[in-house]
Structure 1
Amino acid sequence: MEQFDTYLHELIAKKLSGQCNEAESAALQQWLDASPENREEYAILSKLWQDSSSAVGSQRQYNTAAAWEKTNQAIQPPVSRVKSLYTKYAAAAAVLLLLTTGAWWLESRSSLKKHEMAANDGKIKSLELPDKSVVTLRQGARIRYINGYHHNQRIVELEGEAFFEIASDPGHPFLVKTPNQSVIEVLGTSFTVQTGKDSTAVTVASGRVKLGLEGDTTAVILAGGQSGIWGNGQLYTRENNNPNFIAWKTGVLQFNDLSLLEILPQLADFYAKDIRVDEKYRETASQQKATITFRNQSCDDVLHELQLLLGFHYQQDGDTIVITQ
């Protein structure tokens, strides 16, 4: 990903200068194995390194353009390909040539590492970021971050759903980037983000956040108690009337005078079940209401309590549950 290119080039520089540790070598090899284009990029940068290595310790000025021209002559691609490669690798070449002038640069940047955490074992996971912000990942969520600043910003990338509690640092804005290119800029303290392929939903518990595309002047600012949805280039906002928006984190489900037809979709989301209502029972289910709270209970226990309260029947087959009269 673009914001982590510097870290990748640092790994390459360490490899070429013999400073890579075992974990870094493994990470670089994984990147090389990912595609022929990555191996081509490594070969070009390796050539740039070799062209510049003779200049280490000398007093002459390093000529990035000249080194690049030597590389172009060595690999001899078509002219149009040269322009494309020059655009893609010129910045990387500058980074690598700078690295050859002194080990101090590597030393000063050694703390800038890319990290990733996934809640892929069926449990939620909590993570304290380097800035002391706390992120709680819902099952199936994944987060990527660096333990430093990118252009004086704190940037994380999120897939799935997570709850953020952001440490105050006005001098370093906190941004959450998503797979669908939407960006959440933190102006307050705590909120949830739920990302999808084509949409992002944000619900603010406290403080304020800005939701929209990066650099988009039409982005909306959400305050505590509000929700926003970005999708297909459109932004929608509304008041959050769902007390269960972080039930997956707290384990507490609260229903206040809601119909069974309104309750069941929230149970389906919370327990990751497919809960269906028999068509013959839907009208009755829309009229049966309950005020009840569940705390860290199993799906079967919750359905049993509702069954005693409202008088329906249910059958379960794996993760599918059918509600009947």
Structure 2
Amino acid sequence: MEQFDTYYYDLMAKKLSGHCTAAELSELEQWLAASPDHQAEYDILSKLWQDSLPVAKPRAYDAANAWKKVELATAPAAVIKPIFNWKKLSVAAAVLAVIGSASWFIFSHNSIKKHELVANEGKIKSLELPDKSLVTLRQGARIKYINGYHNQNRLVELEGEAFFEVANDPDHPFLIRTANQSFVEVLGTSFTVQTDKDSTAVIVASGKVRLGAENDTAAVILSSGQRGVWGNGQIYSRNNTNPNFIAWKTGVLQFNDQSLLEILPQLADFYAKDIRVDANYRETAAKQKATITFSNQSCDDVLHELQLLLGFNYKQTEDTIVISQ
């Protein structure tokens, strides 16, 4: 027995609402041309769609009324052998029966039950997704996901920063959508994604990742050890020079012959502090270098060790720290 797949009903809905991409439209046209049954199903849904357009505000539908429309649209002049797969159309009618307005056809996840996890209270959180992929959320990050697939894809939505270890499943691509409309397609296994209002940065620990925008051919393929940035009208990749890009996850900070001016911004990011260098000390701080490792230590302990090593003073007021001679 043929298994019904709502994927093509999603495509039909997006075409009727004018939200089908060129690639999706081409795929739908091929599917419609493959069988008279497919075209007949589309014609019925198209009529139901047209019947629903005049409503000025969302109105309630019920299955009985939906079936009446189906029966009217398909009533034959004489008794003939039905050519439609009514099991499939029953699913389509049920879909139409629960929509409240024509806007349902616009691509959204409102009809799909989402799960959400937020790393709040100043702590990182770990999550195993339904496909066995592992996600670690940095403090303040948020992820949304569903239990199954969306159009055969494993789709999640991310705000903030997270480290992904994606389970291998070539038949179901793993996609990450961000609030700034960037799109990350996973071609490998482990990487970080950092998003904000205007840009997205990806650093690949292993495997490959595609970074770009949804439905945009401009994209970069990032391999292990590379960092890519999308946003503000540009997209680029380069080698990652920051060994501490997942220090927030591991708790380990490593510095190899780096100047104090290079070290302090990384400490500021790790500890969520505002660390400043006094103007009269910047030239000296640029020349002072250290090779040192810190593991799960407090900000005050780290600064104290650097102070003993390099010989500076510092003063802290709440979350602001000033480094001086």
Same fold by TM-score, threshold 0.5 exceeded?
A: yes
The yes-or-no answer on 1:187 pairing with 2:187 is yes
Change (3 A) 1:146 1:62: farther
Runs (4+) off by over 6 Å: none
SS in 2 for 1:139: coil
Match of 2:114 in 1: 114
Match of 1:97 in 2: 97
Match of 1:234 in 2: 234
Match of 2:315 in 1: 315
Distance 2:201 2:66 in 1: 52
CA deviation after TM superposition for structure 1 residue 61, in Å: 2.5
Change (3 A) 1:280 1:60: closer
Distance 1:138 1:128 in 2: 15
Match of 1:53 in 2: 64
SS in 2 for 1:61: helix
Distance 2:72 2:215 in 1: 36
CA deviation after TM superposition for structure 1 residue 216, in Å: 2.0
Distance 2:201 2:69 in 1: 55
Which has a greater percent of helix? 1
Match of 1:224 in 2: 224
Q: TM-score, normalised by structure 2?
A: 0.71
SS in 1 for 2:71: coil
Distance 1:250 1:117 in 2: 20
Aligned residues: 245
Alignment of structure 1 residues 244-263 onto 2, 5 Å: 244-263=244-263
Asked if structure 2 preserves the Cα contact closer than 8 Å seen for 1:191 and 1:202, the reply is yes
Distance 1:259 1:59 in 2: 74
Residue deviations 1:209-246, cap 9 Å, x none?
00001122221100000000001221111101111000
5+ residue gaps, structure 1, are 7-40, 65-91, 100-111
CA deviation after TM superposition for structure 1 residue 160, in Å: 0.2
5+ residue gaps, structure 2, are 1-6, 11-54, 75-91, 100-111
Distance 1:212 1:300 in 2: 39
Residue deviations 1:123-155, cap 9 Å, x none?
000000000000000000000111110000000
Q: Which amino acid aligns with 2:300?
A: D
Alignment of structure 1 residues 24-173 onto 2, 5 Å: 44-46=58-60, 48-49=61-62, 52-53=63-64, 61=71, 95-97=95-97, 113-173=113-173
CA deviation after TM superposition for structure 1 residue 113, in Å: 2.7
CA deviation after TM superposition for structure 1 residue 196, in Å: 0.9
Q: Percent identity?
A: 73
Change (3 A) 1:63 1:238: same
Q: TM-score, normalised by structure 1?
A: 0.71
Asked if structure 2 preserves the Cα contact closer than 8 Å seen for 1:55 and 1:62, the reply is no
CA deviation after TM superposition for structure 1 residue 60, in Å: 6.5
Distance 1:267 1:63 in 2: 68
RMSD: 2.6
Match of 1:177 in 2: 177
Distance 1:62 1:163 in 2: 54
Match of 1:268 in 2: 268
Residue deviations 1:75-97, cap 9 Å, x none?
xxxxxxxxxxxxxxxxx987142
Change (3 A) 1:97 1:265: same
Asked if structure 2 preserves the Cα contact closer than 8 Å seen for 1:45 and 1:93, the reply is no
